[in-house]
Amino acid sequence: MQGNLKKLDFSSFAVQLKDLVSAQLGEEFELYLHTATKNNGGLREGIVVRKKEERVTHSIYLELYYKKYIKNMELENIATEFIEAYSQAALNNLPEAEVLEDFNKIKENIFFRLVNYQKNEDILSDVPFLPFLDLAITFHCLVQNKSDYISSLRITNRHLELWGINIKLLTEVAKDNTPRIFPVLIRTMEEIFSGFSLASADNINPMYVISNGTGINGASCLLYKDVINVLAEELNGNLFILPSSIHEIIVIKDDGFVGKDELVQMVKEVNLTQVAEEDFLSDSVYYFSIEEQRIMKA
């Protein structure tokens, strides 16, 4: 039994799984191992599958499969699950190669995200982006938008060359699309943690959590037109903006009692103890001034 044998290390597991899946899929498919760069420079190992007469590829990542293997799931059963995952991806996938050749066919699906600039310099060397404070605005094409996950393609400099467009047009399209595709959702901490007496205390300066309806890459709402300044007007004051993660930001009114240094320390501690590396946005605290109508580092 497999459970009584010495376990393969991850690299050996990946090779054997690729060979097993390749044998089951047959000669009309080609497979190869691929290391993808995640947000903030992390690496992710996967197997890329392509039907030989097609230009579309599908990457299936291996971390969860390896965990199942370590827990004594047979390699043959893992290969079966892998093939099922590939089949589902192939069934639902946008025909990437053909569609991406025509900007007019995909421009309604282009949106932007916010990422940390320094931690993504390697990725940014190959993609169109705009600097924003200590962050970067990147551009993506939506493939699937489900209730529990989002599938998208990162737009590269090669895409811009293929389409014959510049970053100015790309930005204009993304600015229109992103709030439509991912509408903003603003809630107070009291609404999120209703039932906790601390959250509803009258003397607490309310914190507002800003994200989108999916809760995925919701920090991008910071760039939506009028979201921050309308909230500032409603609260009748300047705002501190805390980058909770790439998925959400937290906004609190500058009431004169809470200070920048205290908030910076809080952001750093939360990032260190509660935020996954790939979800990290920034250790900075930002500030919105009603008078200047702009966001700056606090």
> 20-26 long-range contacts, Cβ below 8 Å, gap at least 24?
20/75, 20/76, 20/79, 21/47, 21/49, 21/79, 21/82, 21/83, 21/86, 24/79, 24/83, 25/49, 25/83
- CA atoms 222, 226, 231, 232: torsion sign: positive
The mean pLDDT value for 94-104 works out to 68
Question: Residue 149 pLDDT > 60, yes or no?
Answer: no
Triad 63, 110, 161: Cα angle to 5°: 95
Q: How confident is the model at residue 183 (pLDDT cuts 50, 70, 90)?
A: very high
Residue 70 pLDDT: 93
Per DSSP, 120 falls in state G
Average pLDDT estimate for 88-106: 70
At which residue do the structure tokens 């992390």 appear? 42
Residue 120 has pLDDT above 80, yes or no: yes
Mean per-residue pLDDT over the chain, rounded: 87
Please tell me which residue, 190 or 68, carries the higher pLDDT value: 68
Range 118-146 average pLDDT = 91
The pair of structure tokens assigned to 90 is: 């192939």
- Picking from 283, 275, 217, 278, the residue whose alpha carbon sits closest to that of residue 39 is 278
Q: Which percentage of the chain shows pLDDT scores above 70?
A: 88
Is the pLDDT at 125 greater than 60? The verdict is yes
What does the alpha-carbon distance between residue 252 and residue 241 come to, in Å, rounded to a whole number?
7
CA nearest to 241, candidates 232, 250, 230, 229: 250
Q: Write out the DSSP string of 174-200.
A: HHHHHHHHS-EEEEEHHHHTTT-TTTT
The answer to whether 248 and 209 are in contact (CB under 8 A) is yes
pLDDT at 38: 73
pLDDT in tens, 188-234: 877 766 644 444 445 578 899 999 988 889 999 999 999 999 999 99
Tokens of 166: 């510049």
Stretch 77-93: mean pLDDT, rounded? Answer: 83
Sign (positive or negative) of CA dihedral 158, 163, 168, 173: negative
- The three-class DSSP label of residue 44 is strand
Per the model's pLDDT, the better-predicted residue between 45 and 146 turns out to be: 45
User: What confidence score (pLDDT) does residue 98 get?
Assistant: 58
Q: Which residue has the higher pLDDT, 53 or 283?
A: 283
| Stretch 293-297: mean pLDDT | 95
Digit-coded pLDDT (tens) for 229-254: 999 999 999 999 999 999 999 999 99
How far is it, in rounded angstroms, from Cα 183 to Cα 213?
Answer: 6
CA gap 97, 115 in Å, rounded: 26
Confidence of residue 3 (pLDDT cuts 50, 70, 90): very low
Output the six-digit token pair for 20.
């097993």
Q: What is the pTM of this model?
A: 0.74
